[in-house]
Amino acid sequence: MSIISVSHLSKHFQVHKKEPGLSGSVRSLFLRKYETVRAINDISFDINEGELVGFIGPNGAGKTTTLKCLSGLLYPTNGNILVLGFNPYERKTEFLKNISLVMGQKNQLWWDLPATDTFLLNKEIYDIPDEKYKIVLEELTKLLEVEDILKMPVKKLSLGQRMKMELMASLIHSPNVLFLDEPTIGLDVLMQKKLREFIREYNIRFKATIILTSHYMQDVEQLCKRVIIINFGRIIFDGLLSSLVEKYSPYKKIRAVLAQYADPKKIDRLGKISRFEYPELILEVPNKKANSTAASILKNFQVEDITIEDPQIEDVIAKVYRENKR
């Protein structure tokens, strides 16, 4: 069942262009020049209930604009959107009570007050019954392990702690659909890991439908089976992450530490030598031949250590961007 349905969505902006300097400012008072920026250009996709989809692309690709259209913050130039059966830009109360948009670079918490004050405000805004509020607050508190900081002023919290509070404020009404825009931006590795675990647990426990944007490919790799890649406002890939890797990087690396020097000509027959600085050898081989090639190396050469490595997801995504330029 499609929870999110997007058909031929476009969003264009008129951007004012001004020449530099005082003369340019004066001229722009009388003759303003505008340029049309196509932030989103005819994209379509469907997302089913309970899916956790990675929505990725370089800076300026149209990710955040798409999420703003899906959440009703922006009115589309063209196309149709349905989220939970609603037109987002109509901003109906029933729709708003069932979605949440979390932006890693924006905050809704009151700086000088504890985060619980914001939670109570949201309780009233979303008309949450007292009993349900207590249950949800307790559940989120345990999931995010924040019992000891709930009553601390927001300004006293670390970036990671504030991000946890932002998530709680956005989830206190138990939304069925989450739009997460860079939720781990600026966080250290440990805090990124904890937030990823929370997002995964929330997705499973509440069967929430989630769209996640992130420049940290570990977020996408560990959370999302399906990815949608957007560049210059157009979708260039929509499918399984495993299929993306297979399509754009059909090779694996075999890294071996040799116990005795070997003739490079003999090694070259097994695969493409990516690097050979004795004793370290790195070979690139087709995915399907990785195991048999590793067995041949062990059989024909003296080896101290050998590993088969999958391609780095960052490298795969970078290759997708390079091959799909404007």
Mean pLDDT, range 2-20, rounded to an integer:
88
Spatial contact of 309 and 280, defined as CB atoms under 8 Å apart: no
Evaluate if residue 17 carries a pLDDT over 80. no
Under DSSP, is residue 139 helix (H, G, I), strand (E, B) or coil? helix
Q: Is 155 exposed, middle or buried (0-12, 13-18, 19+ CB in 10 A)?
A: exposed
260 pLDDT higher than 70 = yes
Confidence of residue 60 (pLDDT cuts 50, 70, 90): confident
Q: At what angle do helices 189-206 and 159-171 cross, to 10 degrees?
A: 10
* pTM: predicted TM-score of the whole model, two decimal places: 0.83
Lowest mean pLDDT among 21-25, 79-83, 169-173, 288-292: 21-25
Q: Which two tokens stand for residue 79?
A: 């196309």
Q: How many angstroms separate the CA atoms of 111 and 115, rounded?
A: 9
Instruction: Look up residue 63 and give its two tokens.
Output: 């990710």
Q: What percent of the chain is helix, strand and coil (3-state, nearest 5)?
A: 40, 30, 30
pLDDT at 273 > cutoff 70: yes
The amino acid sitting at 270 is: L
Helix (H, G, I), strand (E, B) or coil at 145: coil
pLDDT value at 99 more than 90? yes
Q: Are 219 and 196 in contact (CB under 8 A)?
A: yes
Per-residue tokens: 243? 């299929």
Across-strand partners of 179?
Answer: 101, 211
In the sheet with 177-181, reading across from the earlier edge strand, the strands are 99-103, 177-181, 209-213, 52-56, 226-231, 234-240
